[in-house]
Amino acid sequence: MLQLKIEHLSFTYDGAPEAVFADLSLSLDTAWRTGLIARNGRGKTTLLRLLSGDLQGKGKIDCPLMPVLFPYPVADGTQTAWQIAQTAAATCEDWRLMRELSLHNVPEEALKRPFDTLSGGEQTRVMLSALFAREDAYPLIDEPTNSLDAPGRAMLADYLRRKDGFLLVSHDRAFLNRAIDHVVCLNKANTYVMQGNYDTFEARLNGENEAEAARNDALRKEIKQLEAAARKTAEWSNRAEENKRHADKSFYGKVDRGFLGAASERMMKRSKASQVRQERAIEEKQTLLKNVEQVGMLRMTTLPHPKDVLISVENGAVRYGNRTVCENVRFTLRQGERLALIGANGCGKSSILKGILGESDALTGSIRIASGVTLSSVRQRVDDLRGSLRDFIRDAQVDETLFKAILRNMDCPRELFDHDLQEMSQGQRKKILLARSLCEPAHVFVWDEPLNYIDVFSRVQLETLIRQYQPTMLLVEHDKVFVERVATGVVEV
């Protein structure tokens, strides 16, 4: 067994108030199909970059293979996909590379085209094929499903399940269940490794959280009892001391005063002992909850409308110049419904949403939106988000207190609010777009791949929110579990 060993690894970004990792140690078998799970901002991508050598931390990293990060930079996108794959595969023989490309169902025609002209899904398959063709590489795979549709995700999961040895970051629960056999979880207070897939991890996490929360509840009750006892004994001690000072100077008064003095001393000792027990209990309480992943409640404002049908599309088509992407699209969105547009990559799903939002004229046909309907949107990409959070909130014209409360409930730390948006992780930037939409009262919420880069804990939050508020929604999302849990219907494009 070849082991990847991390010993006492620490890393802090320049100017950051807290370390991403402090004295991290763990050991992984390089033959495991390992999934790396954590909330956004906990350092998943940072760890991959440290392992690959893109970042330098303090401590020791020992890997018998060459850690290679995916996605990796492509120097010249005008080269053919085959040339790019050959370069990435280093010294491996061409037959190995062709075998991997075949397993990924990459057509020969695509290999002859300039790499830049390939779809995001095709580029992903070519790059991963080149990576797994190498015998000396330990693949570090960061969010490979973001450019893949549902069939593409299933195909990639099946491909990875037939492989030995990689470290994978993904938030797609169905994908993780099919692809991995071990989990590394970056908790708030520690890191642990376990055998199993995402469902195994979730069952353990829920059990641990319930057990620790139960311990915490019991401790709170104990603290309340100790506080009450401490107050009572303090009152007894004070009352006894007061009586002692006001005792009569008579013989009986002297006897009473001595008796009261001894009683006062006993009360004070009992009070001090209770205080010590209370302080110990409080200290224990503070350590108990440090590892519980608390999922805060989110909120949204849905507006009623006098009409039942809010959006309808008949004979819809998406065209770019002379190229028809899709046609014969039809659907009706009624109040309380949540329709998910599904289809292969590049079939026009996002263009349909943009057409309804008035952001693109590529959508043609009969598109009717009820008069007075307010739309709130979440767009797919976050790359162009920049500037301060305060400026973003001002431009969005949303309530700052509510906006920040939503971000905090999605596990965005307060110190993040002072950072430039470009300094945030992609998941944190996506949460900013989601928070803006949740702050906007709307009749219809139009969300384009809202879960891209979003951690599994926040996905559960959003599922709970939507089931609770029952908003009217039109969405595009490739997370199969999410669609099954929140959508009332699907539209095949």
Q: What is the pLDDT of residues 402-448, one digit of tens each?
A: 999 999 999 998 888 988 999 898 999 999 999 999 999 999 999 99
- How much is the pLDDT for 14? 87
What pLDDT, on a 0 to 100 scale, did the predictor assign at position 141?
98
Burial of 298 (0-12, 13-18, 19+ CB in 10 A): buried
Q: What is the pLDDT of residues 60-112, one digit of tens each?
A: 999 999 999 999 999 999 999 999 999 999 889 999 999 999 999 898 999 99
pLDDT, position 252: 47
Give the residue from 129, 196, 138 showing the smallest Cα distance to 167.
138
- Do residues 363 and 352 lie in contact, with contact meaning Cβ atoms separated by under 8 Å? yes
What percent of the chain is modeled with pLDDT above 70?
87
Low-confidence ranges of the chain (pLDDT < 50): 250-253, 289
**The pLDDT of residue 251:** 46
Residue partners of 336: CB distance under 8 A and separation at least 6: 470, 472, 488
Q: Which of 279, 335, 370, 340 is nearest to 477 (CA)?
A: 340
pLDDT number for residue 273: 65
Which of left, alpha, beta for 120 (phi over 0: left; psi -120 to 50: alpha)?
Answer: alpha
| 67 beta partners | 138
Tokens of 428: 């944190």
Look up the pTM and report it: 0.76
Could you count the other beta carbons within 10 Å of the beta carbon of residue 82? Answer: 21
3-state secondary structure the chain: CCEEEEEEEEECCCCCCCCCEEEEEEEEECCCEEEEECCCCCCHHHHHHHHHCCCCCEEEEECCCEEEEECCCCCCCCCEHHHHHHHHCCCCCHHHHHHHHHHCCCCHHHHCCEHHHCCHHHHHHHHHHHHHHCCCEEEEEECCCCCCCHHHHHHHHHHHHCCCCEEEECCCHHHHHHHCCEEEEECCCCEEEEECCHHHHHHHHHHHHHHHHHHHHHHHHHHHHHHHHHHHHHHHHHHHHHHHHCCCCCHHHHHHHHHHHHHHHHHHHHHHHHHHHHHHHHHHHHHHHHHCCCCCCCCCCECCCCCCEEEEEEEEEEEECCEEEEEEEEEEEECCCEEEEECCCCCCHHHHHHHHCCCCCCEEEEEEECCCCCEEEECCCCCCCCCEHHHHHHHHCCCHHHHHHHHHHCCCCHHHHHCEHHHCCHHHHHHHHHHHHHHCCECEEEEECCCCCCCHHHHHHHHHHHHHHCCCEEEECCCHHHHHHHCCEEEEC
Return the pLDDT at 267. Answer: 60
Q: How far apart are CA 288 and CA 274, in angstroms?
A: 21
